[in-house]
Amino acid sequence: MSGTKEIGRAMQGPRGTRDLYPAEAARRRWITERWREVAVRHGFEEVDGPTFEESDLYAVKSGEGILGELFQAYSGKSPDEVERVKATGRAPYAMRPEFTPTLARMYAARAAGLPKPCKWFQIGPFFRAERPQRGRLREFLQWNVDLLGGEAGSNLNEYDAEVISVLAASFASFGMSPADIRIKIGSRRAVLAACARYGAPPHLYGPDDLSPSLLRLLDDRLKITPDEFERRAVELALPDEFVKYCHPVDRAVVPLDATVSDIANIFGVSLAQAGEVYADYHQSGGLSECIRQSGFAHWCEYDSMVVRGLAYYTSNVFEAIAEGERAVAGGGRYDNLVKLFGGPPTPAVGFAMGDVVLANLLQDKGLMPSDAELMGLVGQTPDVFVLSNGDEGAEKQVRPLVASLRRGSRAPQDSGLRTQDSLHVRHSYKATKNVGKLLKEAAQIGARFAVIVESATEATVKDLRTGEQWADRVPIGDVGRRIAELVRGG
Amino acid sequence: MSGTKEIGRAMQGPRGTRDLYPAEAARRRWITERWREVAVRHGFEEVDGPTFEESDLYAVKSGEGILGELFQAYSGKSPDEVERVKATGRAPYAMRPEFTPTLARMYAARAAGLPKPCKWFQIGPFFRAERPQRGRLREFLQWNVDLLGGEAGSNLNEYDAEVISVLAASFASFGMSPADIRIKIGSRRAVLAACARYGAPPHLYGPDDLSPSLLRLLDDRLKITPDEFERRAVELALPDEFVKYCHPVDRAVVPLDATVSDIANIFGVSLAQAGEVYADYHQSGGLSECIRQSGFAHWCEYDSMVVRGLAYYTSNVFEAIAEGERAVAGGGRYDNLVKLFGGPPTPAVGFAMGDVVLANLLQDKGLMPSDAELMGLVGQTPDVFVLSNGDEGAEKQVRPLVASLRRGSRAPQDSGLRTQDSLHVRHSYKATKNVGKLLKEAAQIGARFAVIVESATEATVKDLRTGEQWADRVPIGDVGRRIAELVRGG
């Protein structure tokens, strides 16, 4: 009759996606609200774009091959689109794998009217078609923080430092310290200079960019054996001097707060030579100085191994790395992308952080709050739990009282996000009238107050956090006011 | 070199989707946070599922034809999936057009371990492949509120009333009144009873459900002319008595707070007959009584025209209708759906509300806050704007002070959502040193305080809301504490 058939099993969600029951949803909310709070505190404004985009948007940025890594989509209602997909296997849309193309498109479309610089963040779902594994799902959340444009003559290192500050502040906000995670900064310009200095073959770099094959090798350095690295370096015909410069066993890591003698130790050079390197790292207006001014230098270090794999970065790049070389976030400067999408030449810097690796790391470090704590942290524990003492007249008052406390007394035109005196109220749906059991239920869900309706007209209030004595009986109509007083008082 | 090509135009997002620049994103945030606040206040817990699901999930519920209304998706990485799509035009996944199938699947998978009843809400993006028009986009946000299960013997009308309360409370929370919007309640059981009473042909209804063709006609009643209605009624071979019963010109609308004499007027019957109808509407434990106890009866009315078009509703159904018969939200009881997805028989009631029609309605009613107000309502206006008086030593202190106020002094292990003394701080990126211009910029973005760095060591603080006199100069290191005092003081 209904055109449906019954199925005999509980269906699963698609492989590599998540069902968020209340505890998991609270965890997501906790993470996304902290991301948001940190971005807002640094003066970034929220934006968002469509969850799916035209496939061309990604092909323009990364080449047609990228579509093989994405979930492609088409309208089942459009015979045209269905026919095109059947003929070519290529769909007109793709579920977004990253935000940067959307961001560049949005900035390009309104560049003239936007503030300079333009500070945007975004939080939302992203998708990739790869095989799911620990830390990698096919649907995940991502936080994007980007700073685009700027007045002529502004120091771009200040912008890079501001974005890196947001990244470091977010880790602090999750309870981490520099011992837990390092922000490693690399320089594409330094690699380009080395290409020129050591005579790398011209097909491996241009005036402003490194070839995808060279980038891939450099980005893979720490994931492959030194032998494998050397084999691939020979394949690319890299000169010995360049191979030595970028060899994974010769990694140079220089903390941003390193002294001259630290640098002498790291590079095995004289203090005089180290002084020159130090001066180079610490020139006025340089990235180091800008990051030091932000107060986050102790989270950061230069690392010659960091180049990032994506083609579109143009200068400084950075990664947040936890133990075991886990990359929790990555970003860098991409000064050519807005122009690629039809906008004016626009300097830009940004990073992205996914929720899956972050949540695993917090879990491993013991920094993920318990389920009960999370409910409190995201504002989902009840203010009040209403029960009756079992008296029939009292029982009849439970639901109307619950409803009235939830409504509160505010005028409907008040437009604050959280109304002043409307309360988060629950009651038991269980048949039991046992006051002890009901109080236990109230405590279990973390309710702040219990209201026990004692008769058709009166109730008592108990503060479950302090365990404070029963107050005098109050008229049922005054319960809301009494609780407001208690909240203000404590 | 990079494998990309430059494009000469700013690309658009897909037709029927939205780019959310900061003002639009703030509007979305304002709406979703109010939805969330109302749901949480009524004891509902947040859940979510994947943004895309297996196509079968929707085909099971609504038949294979539904796929022609959806965005279908497949992994571009899987040769299998690409081949299947090329061969059949049918993809293994669909971007979710609604939440109910995911909800039913999630409930079915864990039914035994979930609380009874289970009160869930969800907010997220949804997709449909139809042609975009005012109030209908191809990607939109939806708020879902559902109450599933319950102890044996519980009164399901109480659950229906609780869900309807959330719906009414949300409208109140957006500043609306019962004059702006009505919650219209219909009964599938009443229509079923009429089918039996007036001898409708047996292919149009079963013991528990109405046929899709009859539902479609009844749901269309107010959108078509009475002539068209009569023509389609004849096509379905509906008996004259039944046609009269459900004729659109004979609409019966009974406010839940109607008196006996109201009812006598509405139906044109005697007071004695109206008394019987009244008693029927107001029996103890009935839906009317439950809604009256919630305090939202004045938002609600029974309307014989409301049946909802979807096949899966089983009993009470309801719609929120604004002027011009605009449906802003709809829902009802669907007691068979969890079983359909392999779970135990589970009573359930819920509704969905989309953001597009709601935002249009708020706009039309003058209830949508201005862009500047929205920034404040979603907590995105700055606490502090830092500038210098133009002195060179002072100027150098601007960025370090901005960074230090943003960091605050809290211990990193504090895990509250909003840290206590870290502030949302901005400064000017413009080259100007003109204090008047900078204070104007601070006021324009709604900053609460301006901090003017006066020298390398001292600053003054101005409360931009009260316009309060300059305070005495304070050491730069004390600015954070001074602002905290001012916030506590006022």
Kindly state the average pLDDT of the residues B35-46. Answer: 97
- Per-residue confidence (pLDDT) for residue B442, from 0 to 100: 95
The type of residue at A90 is R
> Is A199 an interface residue toward B (CB < 8 Å)?
no
User: What are the domain boundaries of chain B?
Assistant: 381-408+422-489
Query: In this predicted model, what pLDDT tens digit does every residue of B351-391 receive, in sequence order?
Result: 999 999 999 999 999 999 999 999 999 999 999 999 999 99
Residue A375 in this model has a pLDDT that exceeds 80 = yes
Higher pLDDT, A384 or B244: A384
B144 DSSP β-pair partners: B122, B352
Please, which pLDDT band fits residue B251 given cuts at 50, 70 and 90? Answer: confident
A486 DSSP β-pair partners: none
Residue B183 in this model has a pLDDT that exceeds 60 = yes
Give which of B157, B124, B163, B161 is closest to B141, Cα–Cα. Answer: B124
Q: Compute CA B286 distance to the chain's CA centroid, rounded to the nearest angstrom.
A: 27
A–B: how many Cβ contacts below 8 A?
388
> Which residue's entry shows tokens 């143009």?
A314
Query: In this predicted model, what pLDDT tens digit does every residue of A137-158 receive, in sequence order?
Result: 999 999 999 999 987 788 999 9
- Per-residue confidence (pLDDT) for residue A9, from 0 to 100: 47
> Is A139 an interface residue toward B (CB < 8 Å)?
yes
| C-alpha distance from A223 to closest chain B C-alpha (Å) | 23
Q: Compute CA A89 distance to the chain's CA centroid, rounded to the nearest angstrom.
A: 33
Q: Report phi then psi at A237, rounded to 5.
A: 60, 40
Which among A50, A378, A414 has the least Cβ separation from residue B13? A50
Kindly state the average pLDDT of the residues A282-303. Answer: 90
> Which residue's entry shows tokens 């003002």?
B23
Q: Report phi then psi at A73, rounded to 5.
A: -140, 155
Please state, in angstroms and as integers, the Cα–Cα distance from residue A343 to each residue in A102, A110, A340, B361, following that order: 13, 8, 7, 35
Handedness of CA B377, B380, B383, B389 (dihedral sign): negative
Please, which pLDDT band fits residue A420 given cuts at 50, 70 and 90? Answer: low
Kindly state the average pLDDT of the residues B186-191. Answer: 83
> Is A261 an interface residue toward B (CB < 8 Å)?
no
Gap between the Cα atoms of B375 and A428, Å rounded: 38
| C-alpha distance from A145 to closest chain B C-alpha (Å) | 13
Answer yes or no: are the C-beta atoms of A389 and A462 closer than 8 Å.
Answer: no
Q: Report phi then psi at A120, rounded to 5.
A: -125, 145
Helix (H, G, I), strand (E, B) or coil at A217: helix
Kindly state the average pLDDT of the residues B78-98. Answer: 96
> What contacts B22, CB < 8 A, 6 or more positions away?
A45, A46, A47, A120, B375
Gap between the Cα atoms of A72 and A74, Å rounded: 7
Kindly state the average pLDDT of the residues B226-238. Answer: 92
Length of chain B, please?
490
One fold for both A26-48+112-251+304-364 and A381-409+418-489?
no
SS (H, E, C) A241-254: HHHHHCCHHHCCEE
Which among A1, A86, A120 has the least Cβ separation from residue B206? A1
Residue B3 in this model has a pLDDT that exceeds 60 = no
Cβ pair A62:B4 closer than 8 A: yes
Cβ pair B10:A105 closer than 8 A: yes
Residue A417 in this model has a pLDDT that exceeds 70 = no
Q: Is the full-model pTM beyond 0.80?
A: yes
> Is B48 an interface residue toward A (CB < 8 Å)?
yes
One-character DSSP codes across A379-448: T-S-SEEEEE-S-HHHHHHHHHHHHHHHH-S--TT---SS-SS---EEE--SS---HHHHHHHHHHTT-S
A381-409+418-489 belongs to which CATH class? alpha beta
Please state, in angstroms and as integers, the Cα–Cα distance from residue A258 to each residue in B117, B342, B411, following that order: 59, 62, 25
Cβ pair B76:A130 closer than 8 A: no
Task: Using DSSP bridges, classify how beta strands A458-463 and A449-453 pair: parallel, antiparallel or unpaired.
Answer: antiparallel
Residue A130 in this model has a pLDDT that exceeds 70 = yes
- Per-residue confidence (pLDDT) for residue A469, from 0 to 100: 67
Q: Which residues of A touch B355 (CB under 8 A)?
A: none
- Per-residue confidence (pLDDT) for residue B208, from 0 to 100: 79
Helix (H, G, I), strand (E, B) or coil at A319: strand
Cβ pair A153:B404 closer than 8 A: no
- Per-residue confidence (pLDDT) for residue A140, from 0 to 100: 97
Kindly state the average pLDDT of the residues B447-469. Answer: 91
Give which of B272, B302, B274, B303 is closest to B286, Cα–Cα. Answer: B302
Give which of B241, B250, B254 is closest to B195, Cα–Cα. Answer: B241
SS (H, E, C) B205-238: ECCCCECHHHHHHHHHCCCCCHHHHHHHHHHCCC
> Is A412 an interface residue toward B (CB < 8 Å)?
yes
Please state, in angstroms and as integers, the Cα–Cα distance from residue A296 to each residue in A36, A62, A119, A174, following that order: 19, 33, 20, 15
Query: In this predicted model, what pLDDT tens digit does every residue of B385-441 receive, in sequence order?
Result: 999 999 999 999 999 999 999 998 754 434 343 445 789 999 999 888 899 999 999
Residue B176 in this model has a pLDDT that exceeds 80 = yes
Query: In this predicted model, what pLDDT tens digit does every residue of A354-370 receive, in sequence order?
Result: 999 999 999 999 999 99
Give which of B190, B418, B270 is closest to A37, Cα–Cα. Answer: B418
Answer yes or no: are the C-beta atoms of A20 and B49 closer than 8 Å.
Answer: yes
Kindly state the average pLDDT of the residues A167-179. Answer: 95
A26-48+112-251+304-364 belongs to which CATH class? alpha beta
Q: Which residues of B touch A102 (CB under 8 A)?
A: 13, 19
Which among B21, B95, B425 has the least Cβ separation from residue A52? B95
- Per-residue confidence (pLDDT) for residue B311, from 0 to 100: 75
Q: What is the number of alpha carbons within 13 Å of residue A142 lying toward its C-beta?
A: 27
Q: Which residues of A touch B9 (CB under 8 A)?
A: 342
Kindly state the average pLDDT of the residues A167-196. Answer: 91
> What average pLDDT does chain B have?
89
For A19, other C-beta atoms within 10 Å of its C-beta total 17
> What contacts B208, CB < 8 A, 6 or more positions away?
B192, B314, B336
Q: Which residues of B touch A419 (CB under 8 A)?
A: 37, 173
Answer yes or no: are the C-beta atoms of B454 and A73 closer than 8 Å.
Answer: no
Residue A471 in this model has a pLDDT that exceeds 80 = no
- Per-residue confidence (pLDDT) for residue A479, from 0 to 100: 92
The CATH superfamily of B381-408+422-489 is Anticodon-binding domain (3.40.50.800)
Q: Which of A224-233, B216-225, B327-336 has the lowest mean pLDDT?
A: B216-225
> Is A17 an interface residue toward B (CB < 8 Å)?
yes
Cβ pair A429:B37 closer than 8 A: no
Handedness of CA B397, B400, B402, B408 (dihedral sign): negative
Q: Which of A63-67, A275-279, B228-232, B335-339 has the lowest mean pLDDT?
A: A275-279
Q: Which residues of A touch B62 (CB under 8 A)?
A: 3-4
Q: Which residues of B touch A313 (CB under 8 A)?
A: none
The type of residue at A63 is G
Residue A215 in this model has a pLDDT that exceeds 80 = yes
B148 DSSP β-pair partners: B118, B348
One-character DSSP codes across A121-180: EEEEEEE--SPPBTTB-SEEEEEEEEEE---TT--HHHHHHHHHHHHHHHHHHTT--TTT
Write the burial class of residue B270 (CB in 10 Å: 0-12 exposed, 13-18 middle, 19+ buried).
exposed
Answer yes or no: are the C-beta atoms of A211 and A192 closer than 8 Å.
Answer: no
Q: What is the DSSP letter of B144?
A: E
Residue B470 in this model has a pLDDT that exceeds 80 = no
> Is B395 an interface residue toward A (CB < 8 Å)?
no
Cβ pair A69:B76 closer than 8 A: yes
Angle, helices B156-173 vs B287-294, to 10°: value is 40
Residue A415 in this model has a pLDDT that exceeds 70 = no
Q: What is the DSSP letter of B136?
A: B
> Is B27 an interface residue toward A (CB < 8 Å)?
no
Handedness of CA B204, B209, B210, B212 (dihedral sign): negative
Higher pLDDT, B473 or B193: B473
Cβ pair B34:A417 closer than 8 A: yes
Q: Report phi then psi at A146, rounded to 5.
A: -140, 145
Strands (DSSP E) found in B271-428? 300-303, 316-322, 326-333, 348-354, 384-388, 425-427
Preferred mutation among B57, B64, B77 to probe A, highest tally of A CBs within 10 A: B77
Q: Which residues of B touch A154 (CB under 8 A)?
A: 429
Q: Which of A27-41, A300-314, B58-72 has the lowest mean pLDDT?
A: A300-314
> Which residue's entry shows tokens 């042609």?
B131
Please, which pLDDT band fits residue A274 given cuts at 50, 70 and 90? Answer: confident
Gap between the Cα atoms of B135 and B354, Å rounded: 9
Burial profile B334-353: b = 16 or more Cβ within 10 angstroms, e = fewer: bbbbbebbbbeebbbbbbbb
B254 DSSP β-pair partners: B302
* Residue B108 in tokens: 């079915």
- Per-residue confidence (pLDDT) for residue B308, from 0 to 100: 85
Preferred mutation among B192, B415, B430 to probe A, highest tally of A CBs within 10 A: B415
> What average pLDDT does chain A have?
89
Gap between the Cα atoms of B315 and A192, Å rounded: 70
> Which residue's entry shows tokens 């770099």?
A205
Gap between the Cα atoms of B148 and B348, Å rounded: 4
Give which of B9, B32, B88 is closest to B55, Cα–Cα. Answer: B88
Q: Which residues of B touch A41 (CB under 8 A)?
A: 406, 422-425
A142 DSSP β-pair partners: A124, A354
| C-alpha distance from B269 to closest chain A C-alpha (Å) | 33
> Is A75 an interface residue toward B (CB < 8 Å)?
yes
> Is B291 an interface residue toward A (CB < 8 Å)?
no
Q: Which of A210-219, A258-267, A440-449, B208-217 has the largest mean confidence?
A: A440-449
Cβ pair B95:A94 closer than 8 A: no
Higher pLDDT, B143 or A279: B143
- Per-residue confidence (pLDDT) for residue A339, from 0 to 100: 92
